[in-house]
Structure 1
């Protein structure tokens, strides 16, 4: 009976999402029900809640600020025309459609997503793909496949949440996720080649781009840490592949406008790396704040705002758009904290047959499709994943990392994100239901295959 009650908050949230309620409504309802279930069946000493909350609640604030400044930055860059400048640069240098697609899918979309999150990479990538000559459907699904670095999207709040709930060091979980992210990278690479059907040379270029991104993220995770790994890995693809394009074209294509467009990205990347090095050398509360992702996202916003005339209106509009997202994310995090701290997640984990860890990636995949983010999925299911790993006598770290990677890729199949991608592919007319269904089916297929392979991997090889 206790296990069924423990499952109630998640079921309430899922039912509300299936009924097309906003994610923040579903999240708040889940958090309220979780608190009620604690009072009924999972009494927890106040001292335990206070001790855990002191460590966890600052994380909720940090994630909320990352989401806020990420949204503001995306809106400012859009208003400044920065995205259009970057798109024009790619279009002018790409020697062929498949190689241009490889640069977008494994470089530009992951880079934008790693910096700002919220599927912003799709809004940049899909128009570029259309200009490269891809069909509407191709552009939409390829743009979604570019969300291959979501564990590090918006500097990794979803991965940070999973680490906090499971009791892992965030860089340790980031590194484990980077290793396992080889599986979604391989699946996405196969999907891109199947869609584009490139020649031998272009296929090698696609495979090379995917390998560069994965190895770059892995190396950055080893040497620097989780937060900037997605930025660095995708930036390596842009520099190497873009550099080869420049050599072939014998022209850089760089202009003053392009330099202005990429300046906020550069300041964010370099500033974050230098600040993390400073904090490692001189650890203190001040250097910890300076090395935090929200600090440098805010700095990037200030730089981007210089070139925007109506910066105040744009910033306020972004802040208003952030409110439901911020509330929903915070509520999901609160629900996850309540369930993990009070033993509810452990009770749910006990309901699953011991030893069947292959099911765990599916939990996060379903959660990500419903909530549209790995943060929401990790908030709901990380505690359950660790409980299943414990009952199955398996190390929890790879199980949580596999769930993180599976849920992150599955976020591309969230219905609102699919509809957005299709609409971005042709902004002149309302998105066609048939086009949305076509893209949705393929996005779910890719996500399902990834969850299946990920589950089999941790079941038999971990």
Structure 2
């Protein structure tokens, strides 16, 4: 009975989301329900709540700032025409459609997603795929498959939340997730090949791009840390394939406008890496702030704003768009904290038989499809996953990493994101219901196969 009561806030939030309520309303309802249940059935000492809140509430602020500056950067880059410049270069430089698709799926979309989050990578990748000659349906599903680096999207707030709720080191969780993410990468690479049906050489190029991205993210996670790993791994693909394209076609296409377009990305990437190295050498509260993702996202926004004349309008638009997203994310994080700190998540964990950890990736996958983000999914289910791992007498790190990887890829199957991808593939009119249904079915198939594969892997390797 206690476990079913503990499950009520999550069920309430999911039901409201299914009935098309905004995420901030659904999450807030979950917070209220969790608070009432704590007062009635899960009493927790005030000292425990205060101590846990002192560590967790600054994280809520950091994630909110990451979302705000990430969205502002995306709007500023759109207003400046930066992505149009980059897209035009990809279209002109790619020697074949299949290799161009590989660059978009394993380079351009993951890079944009790692920098800004919110599925912005899809809005950038789908139009490029159309320019490369892909059909509407191909462009929509391939753009969604590019969300292969969501654990590091927007510099990894979802992974940070999972680490905080599970009591794990965030960089250790980043490395563990990078290892597990080999499974989603394999599934996505196979899907791209099935969709494109390329020649043998191009198929090998697709596999090489996927392997290069995975290897780059893994090495960056080990050597640099979680936050910039997605940027570095996808950037390696862009540089390597870009150099190959230039060498094969004897065409550079490098212009001053292209340089200006990539300057905010360069500022964010280089600045964050140097600041993190400095903070490691000279640890202090000030250097930790300077090495934080929000700081360099804000710096990138300032660089991007230089070439935008309507800066105030863009900033206000970004703030209005951020408000419901920021409120929803913060509310989901608060709900996850309440449930984890008061023992509600542990109670939910008793509903799964001890030792049956293959079910845990399905929790975050379901949460990501419903909420549209790995941050929301991890906020809802990380505490439960940790409880299942403890009851099964296995380390929480690989189990939480598996859930993180499964939920992150499953975000591609969130219905609003699928509809957005189809609309981006044909912006001339309303998205066709048949096209949306086609893309939705395949996105859910990919998410389901991934959760199944990761579940089997974690069951038999821990």
Which category describes the TM-score, using the shorter chain as reference length?
over 0.9
The equivalent residue for 1:308 is 308
Q: Which residue of 1 aligns with 2:12?
A: 12
Runs of 4+ in 1 over 6 A off after TM superposition: none
Instruction: Quote the offset at 1:461 in angstroms.
Output: 1.4
Mapped pair 1:372 → 2:372 = yes
Once residues 350 and 387 of structure 2 are traced to their aligned partners in structure 1, the CA distance between those partners, rounded to angstroms, is 7
Specify the alignment match of 2:174 in structure 1: 174
The residue aligned with 2:119 is: 119
The C-alpha deviation readout for 1:32-69, integer Å capped at 9, x for no partner, is 10011000100000000000000000000000000000
Q: Which residue of 2 aligns with 1:52?
A: 52
Please list the CA deviations of residues 12-39 of structure 1 after superposition, one character each: whole Å capped at 9, or x if unmatched.
0011011111111100000110011000
Q: Could you give the per-residue CA deviations for residues 201-222 of structure 1, whole angstroms, max 9, x where no partner exists?
A: 0000000000000000000000
Matches within 5 A, 1:295-444: 295-444=295-444
Deviation at 1:394, TM superposition (A): 1.3
The 2-side partners of 1:137 and 1:24 are apart by: 31
* 2:153 paired with 1:156: no
Corresponding residue of 1:146: 146
* SS of residue in 2 equivalent to 1:252: coil
In the alignment, structure 2 segments of 5+ residues that lack a partner are none
Shift of 1:251: 2.0
Cα distance in 1, alignment partners of residues 28 and 326 from structure 2: 12
Tell me how large the CA RMSD over aligned residues is: 0.4
- Report SS of the residue matched to 2:350: helix
Structure 1 position 250, deviation (Å): 1.2
C-alpha deviation, 1:249, in angstroms: 1.3
Match of 1:256 in 2: 256
Residue 75 of structure 2 is matched in structure 1 by: 75
Distance in 1, Cα, partners of 2:91 & 2:157? 32
The SS at the match of 2:394 is: coil
Q: After TM superposition, give the deviation of residue 129 of structure 1 in Å.
A: 0.1
Task: Tell me the distance in 2 between the aligned counterparts of 1:284 and 1:322.
Answer: 30
Which residue number in structure 2 is paired with residue 37 of structure 1? 37
- Distance in 2, Cα, partners of 1:227 & 1:117: 12
Alpha-carbon displacement from aligned partner over 1:134-188 (angstroms, at most 9, x marks no partner) = 0000000000000000000000000000000000000000000000000000000
SS at match of 1:67: helix
Q: TM-score, normalised by structure 1?
A: 1.00
Compute the displacement of 1:351 (Å).
1.3
SS at match of 1:43: coil
Say yes or no: does 1:276 pair with 2:272: no
Give the Å deviation of 1:308: 0.4
Choose 350-359 or 273-282, whichever is displaced more: 350-359
Residues of 1 paired with 2:420 and 2:6: CA distance? 34
Describe the superposition over 1:246-266 as per-residue Cα deviations: whole angstroms up to 9, x where unpaired: 011112111111000000000
